[in-house]
Structure 1
Amino acid sequence: MRADAFLAAADALPLGSLDALAGTGGLVVVAPHPDDESLGCGGLIAAARAAGRRVHLVVISDGCGSHTHSALYPPEKLRTLREAETVRAVTLLGLSADDVTFLRLPDAHVPSNGPDAEAAARAVERAATACGASAAFVTWRHDPHCDHKAAAAIVSLARPAMPGVRIYEYPVWGWTLPPETEVGPEPTGLRLDVSAYRAIKARAVAAHESQTTDLISDDPGGFRLEPAMIERLCGPFERFVAVPA
């Protein structure tokens, strides 16, 4: 199926309740970078916490690839900043710092296999056990970013050790794919109505100031989220594509 048709079908997935989507247990959210959790799953996290569900976030990379030419924010300082932004963001959504695991793999070089990927998979497994997860959420395997693909591969590595845990993928960068890109069969899964949490999700996204503002002022070529992308991802629904067992 072409990417444009796939994403249109994802936008038209049936609406489902939190229970229908995720079962009755906790949730694990896997983000390749600090901010993907808010962009792709901010409404889900807020809804789950409002329902009293346990949620654990695993952030795979250190996020240091967003501003590689900044003297004000060299890698270690940038990593510290982005982790602090993530904690602020997810606190708005109902989590605490203890609900977040930072794996600090190198941004733009997250492995899909090998010892580091297997160690990351074990961290996902531990998070699932700790929160009694019935569902896990990770970026779409066809997102056009190597770390997003690797994050999906890491969850696939973890899956055999998480029997009964439903796996879903959430597109973040998928809409930037060339429309004719082949991405596999028609999606199944559900959309979640997050309209009640749009405002808090927008605040969580905005908490990632290094990615949404000119906070890092000495790297004009550094990354910045486009308003149109934020608007697309902060709509009334979030899309979750089921990954068959």
Structure 2
Amino acid sequence: MDAVNSRRIVGEGTSARDWAAWSGLETLPVLEPSTLVPEGSRVVIVAPHPDDEVLGTGGLLARLGRLGRDVLLIAVTDGTASHPGSSSWPVERLAAARPRETREALSRLGLAHVEVERLELPDGALPSHEGRLAGLLGERLRPEDVVLATWRMDGHPDHEAVGRAAFRASAALETRFVEVPIWTWHWARPGDARVPWSRARRILLDEPTLALKRRATAAYVSQLDPDPSTGRAPLLPPHVLARLLRSFEVVLT
């Protein structure tokens, strides 16, 4: 089996219960947001699709906001490929709705002021635009930034392309680069040798911060409701959310 097929996102994946039962997560070193993003630095979140910024780092963003850190969100796509063939959610409606959902989610995190740059690259086709994306990111980054992007081996082609492009742009400027696993929790298993656990760090979320993340996630109505026109289930069903809405977030440093 090749590397890509070994990270397939099919079925319901590894359950939140299985992850919670694994002691390995509890032993990951804790990383404080103030250490990850020192005073005077800006955090740049590079999100493949609207909702990735909150699902992966919503709690971290809330904590950084309370620390007064500058935040730039770079929205690579507007997520317009999420409902193929849907008359309830045609491309035009998604293009308008999903950026609004991001703004509402940020507001719920206490980050209504955060700058959002939309690159409007084609959803579902980012591997073909990786070089262009790296150039666009390079134009927007500063040497003192801390750049967070989806992991280069996350299992979703768009996520992996964003990770590679962000790594390339960060390396050119020698900025700190941190990766965020999102779909990894679906295809990986506890202790999975394909995951670089030695690089993994936990960012703790107290109950009020986790509640903010839950409220922010609820802003992505397009992803949380079934599609009546196609009969498809929500893009973010409960078993997916259960893996991402827990009392810590994991980053790869």
Alignment partner of 2:148 out of 137, 140, 144: 137
2:111 maps to 1:95? yes
How far apart are residue 99 of structure 1 and its match? Answer: 0.9
Alignment partner of 2:133 out of 112, 116, 120: 120
Q: In structure 2, how many angstroms separate the alpha carbons of the residues matched to 1:98 and 1:43?
A: 15
SS at 2:120 equivalent: strand
Q: In structure 1, how many angstroms separate the alpha carbons of the residues matched to 2:114 and 2:62?
A: 16
Q: Percent identity?
A: 33
2:187 maps to 1:177? yes
2:3 aligned residue: none
How far apart are residue 221 of structure 1 and its match? Answer: 2.3
SS at 2:28 equivalent: coil
Which fold has the larger relative contact order, with Cα–Cα distance below 8 Å and residues 6 or more apart in sequence?
1
Taking structure 1 as reference, are residues 202 and 161 closer, same or farther at Cα in structure 2, changes over 3 Å only? same
Alignment partner of 1:187 out of 198, 202, 205: 198
Taking structure 1 as reference, are residues 160 and 16 closer, same or farther at Cα in structure 2, changes over 3 Å only? closer
Taking structure 1 as reference, are residues 98 and 23 closer, same or farther at Cα in structure 2, changes over 3 Å only? closer
How far apart are residue 11 of structure 1 and its match? Answer: 5.7
2:219 maps to 1:207? yes
SS at 1:42 equivalent: helix
Is contact 1:68-1:222 (8 Å) kept?
no
How far apart are residue 225 of structure 1 and its match? Answer: 0.6
Alignment partner of 2:238 out of 209, 227, 232: 227
Counterpart code for 1:218? S
Taking structure 1 as reference, are residues 183 and 81 closer, same or farther at Cα in structure 2, changes over 3 Å only? same
Q: In structure 1, how many angstroms separate the alpha carbons of the residues matched to 2:56 and 2:113?
A: 19
Is contact 2:34-2:64 (8 Å) kept?
no
Taking structure 1 as reference, are residues 205 and 184 closer, same or farther at Cα in structure 2, changes over 3 Å only? closer
Taking structure 1 as reference, are residues 184 and 92 closer, same or farther at Cα in structure 2, changes over 3 Å only? closer
SS at 2:99 equivalent: helix
Per-residue CA distance 1:128-147 (angstroms, 9 max, x = gap) = 33xx7531111122212111
Is contact 2:225-2:233 (8 Å) kept?
no
Is contact 2:170-2:176 (8 Å) kept?
no
Number of residue pairs aligned between Structure 1 and Structure 2: 232
Q: In structure 2, how many angstroms separate the alpha carbons of the residues matched to 1:238 and 1:183?
A: 19
Is contact 1:118-1:157 (8 Å) kept?
no
Superposition TM-score, scaled by structure 1 size: 0.84
SS at 1:111 equivalent: helix
How far apart are residue 182 of structure 1 and its match? Answer: 5.4
Which ranges in structure 1 are unaligned for 5 or more consecutive residues? none
Counterpart code for 2:32? S
SS at 1:187 equivalent: helix
Q: In structure 2, how many angstroms separate the alpha carbons of the residues matched to 1:126 and 1:238?
A: 29
Is contact 2:105-2:216 (8 Å) kept?
yes
Which ranges in structure 2 are unaligned for 5 or more consecutive residues? 1-5, 8-13
Taking structure 1 as reference, are residues 126 and 90 closer, same or farther at Cα in structure 2, changes over 3 Å only? farther
Superposition TM-score, scaled by structure 2 size: 0.81
Greater shift, 147-156 or 94-103, is seen at 94-103
